[in-house]
Chains A and B, each alone.
Chain A
Amino acid sequence: MAASETKSSERIAARERAAEYLVSRHRFQWPEALPWLLAIAAFFIFPDRMTFGGQVLIWVMFALSLDLILGYAGIVTLGHAAFFGIGAYTVGLLIARLSWSEPLSSLVAAALMAALIGFISGWFLLRYLGLTLLMLTLATAIMLQETGNLRPDISGGYDGLPGLTIAPLFGKFYYDLYGHVNYLYVLGVLAIVFYLVRRIVYSPFGQALTGIRENVRRMHAIGSPVHRRLVTVYTIAAAIAGVAGALFTQTNAYVTLTVFDFDNSAKVMVMLILGGTGRLYGAFVGAVVYMVLEDYFSKLSPTFWQFGIGLLLVLAVLFARRGLLGLVEDAGRTFSKREKS
């Protein structure tokens, strides 16, 4: 009797500890303010590089959307550029064909459009695994690109839609030559998106996604609606990638069909892997490191840069499978162990 009582009280304590752990993960921690402070600091330190800064933030958002499906749900896709492209073209076509240039409502339209395509393709594709899934996602992106190419009268064909004019933000802020307004605009949207992603990841839904990634059979066995969960997260990630694409069109004032390229799908994946998957801030570290290196080295020699990024990938797979943030964690762990001993 007494034994079972202590057992049940132990069980309750364990359950409370688990709940406490889950809640504490969710809580805001001070180091998390660091990337945002750095982003604001960059605005004052490099006022003449803000056009580039805006592009970096867009890639952070794109990588963040991939982290949701790849890092948390474990869906390996080679066609994530499809949604980036849908978002980019939604905004581009709204301006060029319907003269709808208000930026915020275009973002919403881009998100909805990308989510719709994500929902439809995800519904069909997420039943498959491995090579089949890789090929199907890849083919989806290329088919969207070819569809755009079918109607050059609407999409502008391979020349794309150049010289788009975007209405001032909130009807007040005009875009300056140095991209200052753009940078703050993108940073603001990224902050909102990040807040949403963080909520999703630490919610029971996010927990279920991690479960699917780690052991899909067990999730089936405990009755989790695996396919529905995957389609949901795929749709959300598609919407976020669509917003990133929309911002890309708005900040560059042009869009071409190359946004659908396999190169873009590969690039965003490389960034995420470089930073570290399944850890939210991996997208920040990866995109910033990649973009800065690319900016520096591809000016020196594009060939050299391509070789470098290839080498980086090979080394990352062989020696740092959890990305740069993983390396930092390992280093931290080694240090703390040494201090103890």
Chain B
Amino acid sequence: MPHFAIVAVSILFDGLAYAMFLFITSVGLSVTMGLMNFVNLAHGAFAMAGGYIVVTLTRSLGIDFVPSLIIAAVLVGLISIPFERSLYRRLYKATDLEQVLLTIGLAFMSIATFTYFYGPIPKSVPLPHWLEGDINLGFRAFPSYRAFLIAVGLFLIAVLWYGFERTNIGAKIRAAVDNRRMAESVGINVDLLFTITFAVGSGLAALGGGLAIQLFGLSPSFAVIYLVLFLIVVAVGGLGSLKGTLLAALVLGVFDTAGKYLLADAGGFFIYAVTVAVLLVKPAGFYGRE
């Protein structure tokens, strides 16, 4: 196979794996922001919390990696409910600025808490043997872990698509994103709906955080460093749109990987250039409502 084709396939593969991570972590943020117009800068903190729970479960309690991921997602989802009920709820009608300040305050507090308990040094997780090593496809070997990440991503896309498009609760969420007041006046309990989506979104973020450990390592600054990426995915995709978030994650994931492969020096430049280009043309993102 010619050289450029191998490079292209590598970029697509790694970009896809990266995109799946971005999608899993950002989709909850997108839906909650679409529902309540709430700028949640603490979303990255939930992802980080998920990552640390996975570290504790696998390292200290000896539970396998995959069950740990699921436990972490459920735990963080449950933990996020009291936060939403007590703190977030008070600021739904407040300005962007106040929401930004409250949630960035929460993010700082969580970073400090996790630094206190786990220290600032990046953590890793022990993987089961079937996730280590490569899958050889003849012309190139692909790391099994990234293949696993893509598989998880595709599975979740299917589940979320079904939940969003084919179930009663999905229809209610779509209705509430479209027009909250109308949805409320036909008897949909938007508050409850929001609590549920917030918990599911935070749980997915935790899952993403757990999956990211192997790719980027996990340190407390994860909550802020990757938060910017999640926000960008949400803004580029359009608030509250599953399709948009997926498309944005794919575009940004592949572009960023391509940039790092082809122009290592340019580093993080590409993802931001693409973001600015998209937002200048479509301020509400790919599938957002203008």
Binding site for B on A (CB under 8 A): 70, 76, 78, 124, 127-128, 130-132, 134-136, 138-140, 142-143, 146-147, 149-150, 262, 266, 269-270, 273, 303-307, 309-314, 316-318, 321
Contacts and interface: CB of A to CB of B under 8 A. Distances in A.
B27 to A, nearest CB: 16
B104 A313 contact: yes
Contact of B228 (A262, A312, A321): A262
A124 B115 CA distance: 39
Contacts of B279: 128, 132, 135-136
B3 interface: no
Nearest to A78: B100
A313 B105 contact: yes
Interface of B: 33, 37, 39, 87, 90-91, 94-98, 100-102, 104-113, 115-116, 224, 228, 231-232, 234-235, 239, 265-269, 272-273, 275-276, 279-280, 283-285
B109 A135 contact: no
Contacts of B107: 310
B106 A310 contact: yes
A305 B234 CA distance: 31
Q: Chain B interface mostly helix, strand, loop or mixed? A: helix
B275 A317 contact: no
B39 A307 contact: no
Nearest to A132: B283
Contacts of A135: 231-232, 235, 275, 279
Nearest to A138: B228
A143 B276 contact: yes
Nearest to B263: A150
B104 A266 contact: yes
A247 to B, nearest CB: 27
Contacts of B37: 130
Nearest to B102: A317
Nearest to B221: A263
A312 B101 CA distance: 10
A149 B267 contact: yes
A310 B267 contact: no
A312 B112 CA distance: 13
Contacts of B285: 132
B149 to A, nearest CB: 25
A146 B102 contact: no
Contacts of A266: 104
Contact of B272 (A76, A131, A139): A139
Nearest to A316: B101
B105 A143 contact: no
Given A76-B96, A140-B276, A150-B265, A132 B109 contact: no
A310 B235 contact: no
